[in-house]
Amino acid sequence: MAMSGFEGFEKRLELHFSGDDPVNGISLRQLDFESIEEVLHAVQCTVVSAVGNQYFDAYVLSESSLFVYPTKIIIKTCGTTQLLKSICPLLHLACDIGLTLSVCRYTRGSFIFPKAQPYPHSSFKEEVIYLEESLPSHLCYRKASVMPSKMSSHSWHVFSACDESHMLMQNFESDHQDFFTIEVCMTELDRVLARKFYRHPNDGKNGDTAGKEMTEITGIVDINPNALICDFAFDPCGYSMNGIDNDRYSTIHVTPEDGFSYASFEFVGSIYDDHNAIVEVLKKVVQVFRPGTMSVATTSTGHEAWTKVASAVEPVGMKCRSCTVDEFPAAGTVVFQTFTPRRK
């Protein structure tokens, strides 16, 4: 393995806010672009492309993605970005428009190059201390856990916190319980397939045009044909895309370099979706990357979306090697599964 290289594994932060009077149309989407740029400056990344619809705004970043909904923000960054440094500026901006933090969730896999990570990301312990100190005291239900797998190289780190009202909501049926999030991390990508995420030298194209081409030739375009795709190809290699489909996002990030190749895929599903839809999506993702190792974290409130994962990827040659389950405040149940090709 390379001594060092680009860190593909992302850190992911999800923040939910509530206002005293949600009816009067207060929305995080009102934040001006300069404010968003300031938050990203603290994290050490920038916006390279953006798209929005009536439900939310999706930004492709120099290191991954940002999604802004009226009362929810999801920010996912790779490399040596300092993601948790976005919390304080985001809380200030939200406060200025009358929104208060109600739920915080932080997740990540295991870094390929942990020693290259800057403060506060040099260890999960350090991240948890930083989170504990950054969050307002009314987020009083908190839990941090590392979910293991059979492979030391893949474990899932989760920190979740919420206020009293969301702890109560977890005990009742509510809208947010109809959705689940699936986060897929893939390493040791098929070398031939990974080459498709390299640009030709001096191709004369910009990142958007080259990105659109990669989306087509890799088959990513077929993963969700209904999504509006905002894509970007980096120079000399690397790829990011956000898909927007009504009120749901999907996102893919690829670091194709040999020795530390990595790809991630994340999407939101609903329990009312056709169950075949999850299966087809995950099947296509495996076929685009053919990873040597793959982890899938499914976050949901109580229903069985995670059971579809194995039935999706086993027909395309993957075998489940481990499965861990844990419960978190406001996040619900997290199921962490790992897969490798059957031939291993």
Determine whether the annotation assigns residue 314 to a binding site.
Answer: no
Q: How many helices (H) and strands (E) does the chain have?
A: 8, 16
Tokens of 46: 């920038």
Determine whether the annotation assigns residue 257 to a binding site.
Answer: yes
Confidence of residue 282 (pLDDT cuts 50, 70, 90): very high
pLDDT in tens, 4-18: 778 878 999 999 998
| CA dist 30 → 36, 90, 93, 187, 243 (Å) | 11, 13, 10, 38, 21
Determine whether the annotation assigns residue 234 to a binding site.
Answer: yes
Task: Give yes or no for residue 37 having a pLDDT over 60.
Answer: yes
> Residue 293 phi/psi, 5° resolution?
-145, 145
36 inside domain: yes
Q: What is the domain count for the chain?
A: 1
pLDDT reported for residue 235: 87
Task: Give yes or no for residue 170 having a pLDDT over 70.
Answer: no
Domain that holds residue 137: 9-339
Q: Are 264 and 155 in contact (CB under 8 A)?
A: no
The DSSP secondary-structure symbol of 268 reads E
Determine whether the annotation assigns residue 172 to a binding site.
Answer: no
| CA dist 320 → 166, 198, 337, 344 (Å) | 33, 30, 7, 12
pLDDT in tens, 248-279: 999 999 999 998 999 999 999 887 777 788 88
pTM to 2 decimal places: 0.92
pLDDT in tens, 146-167: 998 888 788 999 999 998 877 7
344 inside domain: no
Q: Report, as residue numbers or ranges, the catalytic residues.
A: 64, 78, 240, 253
1 inside domain: no
pLDDT in tens, 311-329: 889 989 999 999 999 998 8
pLDDT reported for residue 192: 95
Average predicted confidence (pLDDT) for the chain:
89
Instruction: Name every residue whose Cβ is closer than 8 Å to that of residue 223 and which is 6 or more positions away in sequence.
Output: 243, 250, 252, 265, 281, 284, 285, 288
pLDDT reported for residue 73: 95
d(CA 138, CA 104): 12
Task: Give yes or no for residue 340 having a pLDDT over 80.
Answer: yes
> Residue 257 phi/psi, 5° resolution?
-65, 135
281 inside domain: yes
pLDDT in tens, 120-146: 999 999 999 999 999 999 988 899 999
pLDDT in tens, 197-226: 999 888 888 888 999 999 999 999 999 888
% of the chain at pLDDT higher than 90 = 62
Task: Give yes or no for residue 2 having a pLDDT over 90.
Answer: no
pLDDT reported for residue 4: 75
The DSSP secondary-structure symbol of 198 reads B
pLDDT in tens, 295-307: 999 998 766 778 8
pLDDT reported for residue 23: 55
120 inside domain: yes
pLDDT reported for residue 169: 61
User: CA 203, 200, 189, 277 torsion: positive or negative?
Assistant: positive
3-state secondary structure at position 93: helix
Q: Any alpha helices (H) in 26-96, and if so which ranges?
A: 33-43, 87-96
CATH of the domain at 270: 3.60.90.10
Confidence of residue 1 (pLDDT cuts 50, 70, 90): very low
4 inside domain: no
288 inside domain: yes
217 inside domain: yes
Query: Where would I find the beta strands (DSSP E) of the chain?
Result: 11-19, 47-52, 57-61, 64-69, 72-77, 99-108, 141-147, 156-162, 179-187, 228-233, 239-245, 248-255, 262-270, 293-300, 318-328, 332-341
